[in-house]
Amino acid sequence: PITPGELLCLGSSLAFSGLFYYLYRRKASVVARVQEAPKLQVDDNLPALVSAADGRCLPYVALEGIVLPAKAALTSHYHDGLQGVIQKLLLKEHRLIWNSLARSW
Considering its fold, how many domains does the chain have in total? 1
Q: What is the pLDDT of residue 33?
A: 85
| Domain annotation covers residue 80 | yes
**For the range 19-22, what are the long-range contacts, defined as Cβ-Cβ under 8 Å and sequence gap of 24 or more?**
none
Report if pTM > 0.95: no
| Domain annotation covers residue 95 | no
Q: What is the pLDDT of residue 53?
A: 86
Average pLDDT, the chain: 86
d(CA 51, CA 44): 13
Q: What angle do CA 17, 21, 25 make, to 5 degrees?
A: 175
Q: Give the structural domain span for 69.
A: 4-84
pLDDT band, residue 5 (cuts 50/70/90): very high
d(CA 73, CA 86): 9
Percent pLDDT > 70 in the chain is 92
Asked if residues 17 and 43 have their Cβ atoms less than 8 Å apart, the reply is no
